[in-house]
Structure 1
């Protein structure tokens, strides 16, 4: 397939963008306390420009330290931030890309409690998003006027730094969005009460920015057109908003869907599928005449389709460009098979920011935000490297070692690569995991890695004695605790069910274990096979190991497909008719089942690893699930690190 239509130039106002690929604005949580960008973040953006993106929109930068909320993106209230911003702009311009500064007056009612005092500000005296008992401070006209002055100063800094455009962040239910939306804007003055009045705050921001940047610098406006919750702003109301703002002089709209009430649409996980927010574009195209940008789990194919439809002019890639900053160049050069797919897992991007309060990275690209420190370099002293295991850890170790110039032989006991990662990827919503498996196969072949598939290593092979380094990545296997069962009980493991769907017999399925694998299996069996599924989990909740944003979508899918969930429930035994369980009050029940799925978890496969560590303690490195159970991103990182430390 040709992607050349993604590489036609386009103009936003007077700004010429070399292609239709935009890097979405995403926070990295890496700025310094003084508001400056770090060297790592500068390198990160430059790498995406080097990779061929036409326009880079940086994550929203607050006007000042006082209103800075959420991830650390720096702020625009001092000339001292200019040197680092200039480095970003110069570095991006070096590769022919344009760069846009996204400005925000803050999160308003979405502010985290006690971050910078209470209460949060908002359009009206409405409850705080995180503490409904805390009522927001409604901005006064004097405070609004000061915000306009702050926008002028921030815009002037952006111009001094060398930005090509300004984007106003009115997205995700943040402060500007709170003025735009009747659900939050209860004002009765000139700032609320109708689409015309609700846009007054935004219009004054546009005028403030325009008074500084002049007529030739484009002003973009980022807005969710469909909040997707009852009472939120819908498409019809949003079209009135767009028309008002177009008249005010907005040069382009950056549109999608969702807000913090529907948080999974702000960071869409794999459950939502591909191109999950492009539906808003057709409505916007009918309402306004300026260019449209669209984001929302795009891949190259959906981006091409959207451009061909005429409903958008540029397509934004967020996590896809974190996963592979060279994606545009690879597509332009006719090598889509080399594009490393994003898993939509959210584990290392927003997951690291939200859960661990540290900077962004990527499950499939450990070098994200470490573009210089983690750069792969060719060795002058190639070694003979043996990798045992063709799952994500082993494949990444083999790939990285080969890129470094080592001679790599990979052994895999099965006749295919991918390991458990490939086995569990049968559901439609796991298509990107299947794509990642294929990507590794292609890369290992191109790099000349010697593959010995269908080969079980015993530990006494001559190649192990002769090689310089052994990397063991044998993975893990299903674990079922000692539960009483009859010989005719229809029990299969979740792994066996993925390997052979014919083992899932009948209509009534009981899944024992409500972790990620059990819940994903339930969705797949209910949604794609039409089964009546029950999950039994001994803990008070299912999906305890699932990142909370992903869990929103996961639980919605379980509910949508009528999966029964029994928590605080222990499995007692299996028989030919189903499962005996006991609830937290001690009451025992029999659940009828045609097939019982054991999804209790996994255990490391240690025998060969122990043998090789003993025989070759200096040159043996054990990684992945056979060392410590983890998710795909942790296995890939293990493999990358193991190969990187080969001397």
Structure 2
């Protein structure tokens, strides 16, 4: 496929952007408590401008500290934030990119009660999302007027900093969306009731910003056109809003779908597929004449398809550009095979922010938000490096060591690279894992890594003695608990099910183990093979190791495909016709099955690791599952650290 259509210039208002690729507005959770941006975030944006992105949207900056309610995205109520914002604007302009200041009056009812114990603000006195016992404070007309003054000041800051445009964050069911949507707006004054009144708050924001910047900076409006829940705003409702806002002076719309009631559409996991929100574009194109921007798990091919459909003018990519900041330049120079594909795993981007309250990173790009500190540098003293194991940890170690200029030899005992990662990527929703495995294979070949397949290392080889450094990761194998009948002909491991689907006999399939691998296997077998699947899990819930946002879509898809989840259920024995299970009340029952799949977890393979460490512990670094059982991201990080510390 050709990508030429992504590299034509296009205008928003009086701002010309050099190509059609944008970096979606995403918080990095890294600003200082005084509202200023950290150097690492500045470097993060500059790296993506350097990589060829045409227009970059900074994650939402709040009007002031009180509205931010603990968010570490920065705020725009003081001139003291200007030096760091000027740095990011100047840095992006150096590479011919445009940069947009996204301004937000807060998350409203989606916020946690703030540090002062005050309830969140909203259009109306509704229950807070995260604690329904806390009732939101409905903004008074005086407070709304104050907020408009805040928008004027923020617009002036954005202009002084050197931003090229301003985006109003009216998305995701946040505060502005709460005014625009009757499901949340229960006001009886001029800010509620009729569609015109519900549009008054966002219209006044547009007018406040325009009163400061005039036509010198375009104003873009980010809005979800389809909330996707009963009572939420529909596509049809949103078209009326778009027309009102266009008449108010909005220069472009940044459109997609979802809200906090449908959280998986705010952070779409792999189960939703590519381009999962482009369906909103065709109607919007008919409703307004200003430029349209769309995001939602785009890859290069879906971006081309959408631009060429004529339904949008720009395609924003978020996690794809976290994973590979040089994606645009690689496409522009005719090297799509070099684009590192995002896994849509959500583990290190929103996962780190939400679960660990720290800054954004990436499962497969450890340099994200560490562009300077983790720079890969060419060495002045090349070493002979042996990598044992061709899983994600070993492949990343070999790739990075080769970029640094070391002579790298990689040994893999199987006939192909990828390890467990290369085996499990058989489902359509794991296509990006398959692409990542392919990407590593291509990169190692281009970098001249000496890859030796079908070669098992024991620890006695002379190359180990002769080399300078050893990086080893021999992966993991399925756990086989001592359950009567587990070695029967009707029992296979989850890995064998992926490696050879013909082993999955009959129509009734039971998967023992309701962790991520068991549930993914269940969805694949039910949705792509059309079989009746039951999952048996000993714990009170399935998917304890699945990130909670991903779990929303996963459980929806499992239900849609008729997968039965049996929790608090222990496998007692496996027979020819199925298995005997014990329920929480100690009663037993038979679950009929043609094939039983064992997904009880994994254990590291340490025979070679221990042998090599015993002889060469001073020059050996252990990575991946051999170091600590984990997901792809942990293994990649291990490999990156091992190579960059040589």
Short-chain TM bin: over 0.9
**CA offset digits 1:33-71 (Å, max 9, x no partner):** 111000100000000000000000000000000010464
Classify the secondary structure of the residue corresponding to 1:166.
strand
Pair 347,486 (structure 1): closer, same or farther in 2 beyond 3 Å: closer
* TM-fit CA distance, 1:113: 2.7
Corresponding residue for 2:407? 407
1:177 lines up with 2:177 in the alignment: yes
1:494 lines up with 2:494 in the alignment: yes
> What is the RMSD computed on CA atoms of the aligned residues?
0.9
Gaps of 5+ in 1: none
Pair 70,343 (structure 1): closer, same or farther in 2 beyond 3 Å: farther
* TM-fit CA distance, 1:115: 3.7
User: What is the CA–CA distance in structure 1 between the aligned matches of 2:37 and 2:580, rounded to whole Å?
Assistant: 58
**CA offset digits 1:358-390 (Å, max 9, x no partner):** 000000000000000000001011100110100
User: What is the CA–CA distance in structure 1 between the aligned matches of 2:398 and 2:173, rounded to whole Å?
Assistant: 44
Corresponding residue for 2:197? 197
1:469 lines up with 2:476 in the alignment: no
* TM-fit CA distance, 1:167: 0.3
**CA offset digits 1:499-527 (Å, max 9, x no partner):** 00000000000000000000000000000
Pair 310,509 (structure 1): closer, same or farther in 2 beyond 3 Å: same
User: What is the CA–CA distance in structure 2 between the aligned matches of 1:283 and 1:118, rounded to whole Å?
Assistant: 40
Classify the secondary structure of the residue corresponding to 1:66.
helix
Corresponding residue for 2:72? 72
Corresponding residue for 2:306? 306
Query: 1:203-602 maps to which residues of 2 (within 5 A)?
Result: 203-485=203-485, 488=488, 490-602=490-602
User: What is the CA–CA distance in structure 2 between the aligned matches of 1:379 and 1:71, rounded to whole Å?
Assistant: 40
* TM-fit CA distance, 1:489: 5.0
State which drifts further: 361-370 or 189-198.
Answer: 189-198
* TM-fit CA distance, 1:486: 7.3
Corresponding residue for 1:14? 14
Question: What TM-score do you get using the length of structure 2 for normalisation?
Answer: 0.99
User: What is the CA–CA distance in structure 1 between the aligned matches of 2:135 and 2:609, rounded to whole Å?
Assistant: 58
User: What is the CA–CA distance in structure 1 between the aligned matches of 2:299 and 2:197, rounded to whole Å?
Assistant: 38
**CA offset digits 1:573-623 (Å, max 9, x no partner):** 101010110011101011000000000000000010000000111111111
Checking the alignment, whether the CA contact within 8 Å between 2:508 and 2:593 is kept in structure 1 is yes
Checking the alignment, whether the CA contact within 8 Å between 1:28 and 1:71 is kept in structure 2 is no
Checking the alignment, whether the CA contact within 8 Å between 2:458 and 2:611 is kept in structure 1 is no
Classify the secondary structure of the residue corresponding to 2:66.
coil
Classify the secondary structure of the residue corresponding to 1:306.
helix
* TM-fit CA distance, 1:117: 2.7
State which drifts further: 144-153 or 121-130.
Answer: 121-130
* TM-fit CA distance, 1:333: 0.4
User: What is the CA–CA distance in structure 1 between the aligned matches of 2:79 and 2:132, rounded to whole Å?
Assistant: 37
Pair 214,400 (structure 1): closer, same or farther in 2 beyond 3 Å: same
User: What is the CA–CA distance in structure 2 between the aligned matches of 1:362 and 1:475, rounded to whole Å?
Assistant: 21
* TM-fit CA distance, 1:133: 2.2
**CA offset digits 1:529-562 (Å, max 9, x no partner):** 0010000000110000011001111111111111
Corresponding residue for 1:107? 107
User: What is the CA–CA distance in structure 1 between the aligned matches of 2:466 and 2:137, rounded to whole Å?
Assistant: 72
**CA offset digits 1:313-357 (Å, max 9, x no partner):** 000000000000000000000000000000000000000000000
Pair 186,199 (structure 1): closer, same or farther in 2 beyond 3 Å: same
Checking the alignment, whether the CA contact within 8 Å between 1:489 and 1:575 is kept in structure 2 is no
User: What is the CA–CA distance in structure 2 between the aligned matches of 1:403 and 1:487, rounded to whole Å?
Assistant: 46
Classify the secondary structure of the residue corresponding to 2:613.
helix
Runs of 4+ in 1 over 3 A off after TM superposition: 486-489
Count of residues in Structure 1 that have an aligned counterpart in Structure 2: 646
User: What is the CA–CA distance in structure 2 between the aligned matches of 1:117 and 1:7, rounded to whole Å?
Assistant: 49
Question: What TM-score do you get using the length of structure 1 for normalisation?
Answer: 0.99
Classify the secondary structure of the residue corresponding to 2:26.
coil
Checking the alignment, whether the CA contact within 8 Å between 1:255 and 1:292 is kept in structure 2 is yes
User: What is the CA–CA distance in structure 2 between the aligned matches of 1:96 and 1:615, rounded to whole Å?
Assistant: 53
User: What is the CA–CA distance in structure 1 between the aligned matches of 2:274 and 2:487, rounded to whole Å?
Assistant: 44
Gaps of 5+ in 2: none
Corresponding residue for 1:156? 156
User: What is the CA–CA distance in structure 2 between the aligned matches of 1:487 and 1:18, rounded to whole Å?
Assistant: 61
1:612 lines up with 2:612 in the alignment: yes
* TM-fit CA distance, 1:127: 1.3
**CA offset digits 1:256-285 (Å, max 9, x no partner):** 000000000000000000000000000100
Checking the alignment, whether the CA contact within 8 Å between 1:71 and 1:353 is kept in structure 2 is no
User: What is the CA–CA distance in structure 1 between the aligned matches of 2:496 and 2:71, rounded to whole Å?
Assistant: 42
1:96 lines up with 2:124 in the alignment: no
* TM-fit CA distance, 1:487: 6.3
User: What is the CA–CA distance in structure 1 between the aligned matches of 2:445 and 2:116, rounded to whole Å?
Assistant: 53
Classify the secondary structure of the residue corresponding to 2:421.
helix
User: What is the CA–CA distance in structure 2 between the aligned matches of 1:279 and 1:77, rounded to whole Å?
Assistant: 37
State which drifts further: 456-465 or 314-323.
Answer: 456-465
Classify the secondary structure of the residue corresponding to 1:67.
helix
